[in-house]
């Protein structure tokens, strides 16, 4: 079995199993921690609407907070949009997903994907520099922040290397790319990458709770 066979064979299978099972375990486990009914009289009954509103309203900070947060918000958007383009609009990735799930969609040009990848890497470096040079961010950072950063960066870097045929024989670089994706999938349920799932329930529950008290969150 070659390294590439291993990366896209058993390593990928196990990574996907850990990704799915670990994600379900973490989400359901946190969700099932004791919940009690609130017996106070609500100011507003439309809590579901409040929850949905907050899921969407938190896509951008309110103007009162923009001056101090907009730089990080823009960088985060650049990174996330760049990643989305690289992961979901690169034709080989779409073919891989079609093989796995049976669904597909049109891709974009490879040059555009490479540009998106470069922008993603630049934004991630800028975010890391910000984290390392801002005292209050350093104070709240832990090893998870750096592992998650690295395991997000590696697939992008190795993917671009494979596409550009640099860094070694193509099968080896491609194997390293797939292995880095496998690692990222394995880490996903255990670190802060899991916010890709949690942003919906965490925003929704705040919005619903505040709506209950008559406040738009």
Partner 1 sequence: MTVNMEMFKQFAEMLPRLGDNAQPPQMTDAERVSTAKETFIRKLNGRMAIDLESCIHCGHCASACHYFVGTDDPKYVPIRKLDLLKRVYRRELSPLRWLHRLYTHDITVKELQECQELVYDSCTECGRCSMVCPMGINIAGMVNVMRQGMANAGMIPAELMAMEQEQGGHESLFGVGPEQMKGAIMKLQESGLDIPLDKEKADILITTSVIDILLFTDGLIATARIMNHLGLDWTLRSDGYEAANFGLLSGYERVQKAASERIIAAANACGAKTVIIPECGHAYPSMRWEAANEHGGPLPFEVLAISEFLGREVKSGRLKLNALGRSRKVTFHDPCKLARHSGTIEEPRWVLDALGVDFREVESSKELNWCCGGGAGVFLINSAADLRQKAFQIKINQVEKTGADSVVTACGSCRLNFLNGAMRSGWDKGIESLVELVAEALPEQQPTTH
Q: Which residues are at the interface with partner 1 (CB under 8 A)?
A: 25-26, 28-36, 38-41, 43-44, 54, 58, 61-62, 64-65, 68-69, 72-73, 76, 134-142, 145, 190, 192, 194-195, 198-199, 201-207, 209, 213-217
Least distance (Å) between residue 156 CB and partner 1? 19
Closer to partner 1 by Cβ: residue 173 or 210 = 210
Quick one: tokens of 49? 């609407």
The string of DSSP codes covering 161-201 is HHHHT-SS-HHHHHHHHHHHHHHHHHHTTTSGGGHHHHHHH
CB distance 48 to 212 below 8 Å: no
Least distance (Å) between residue 128 CB and partner 1? 12
DSSP H/E element including 147: helix 143-164
Closer to partner 1 by Cβ: residue 51 or 82 = 51
Least distance (Å) between residue 40 CB and partner 1? 4
Least distance (Å) between residue 214 CB and partner 1? 3
Closer to partner 1 by Cβ: residue 56 or 168 = 56
**Please, what is the Cα angle at 94 between 89 and 95, to 5 degrees?**
150
C-alpha distances in Å from residue 99, one per residue of 17, 95, 103, 157, 180 = 17, 6, 8, 24, 20
How many whole angstroms separate alpha carbon 170 and alpha carbon 183?
20
Least distance (Å) between residue 125 CB and partner 1? 17
How many whole angstroms separate alpha carbon 111 and alpha carbon 163?
10
Place of tokens 């486990």: 29
Closer to partner 1 by Cβ: residue 6 or 190 = 190
Least distance (Å) between residue 143 CB and partner 1? 9
Closer to partner 1 by Cβ: residue 129 or 164 = 129
Closer to partner 1 by Cβ: residue 28 or 103 = 28
Quick one: tokens of 30? 């946190």
């Amino acid at each position: 079995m070659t390294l590439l066979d291993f990366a896209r064979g058993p390593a990928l299978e196990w990574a996907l199993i850990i990704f799915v099972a670990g994600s379900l375990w973490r989400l359901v486990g946190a969700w099932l921690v004791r919940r009690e009914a609130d017996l106070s009289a609500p100011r507003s009954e439309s809590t579901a609407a409040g929850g949905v509103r907050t899921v969407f309203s938190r896509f951008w900070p309110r103007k009162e907070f923009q001056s101090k947060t907009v730089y990080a918000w823009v960088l985060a958007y650049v990174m996330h949009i760049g990643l989305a383009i690289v992961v979901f609009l690169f034709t080989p990735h779409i073919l891989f997903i079609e093989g796995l799930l049976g669904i597909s969609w049109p891709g974009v040009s490879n040059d555009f994907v490479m540009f998106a990848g470069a922008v993603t890497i630049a934004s991630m470096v800028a975010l890391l520099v910000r984290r390392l040079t801002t005292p209050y961010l350093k104070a709240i950072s832990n090893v998870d922040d750096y592992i998650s950063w690295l395991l997000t960066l590696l697939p992008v870097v190795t993917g671009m290397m494979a596409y550009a045929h640099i860094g070694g024989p193509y099968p080896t670089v491609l194997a390293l790319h797939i292995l880095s994706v496998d690692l990222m999938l394995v880490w996903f349920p255990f670190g802060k990458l899991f916010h890709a799932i949690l942003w919906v329930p965490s925003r929704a529950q705040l919005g619903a709770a505040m709506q209950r008290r008559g406040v738009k969150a």
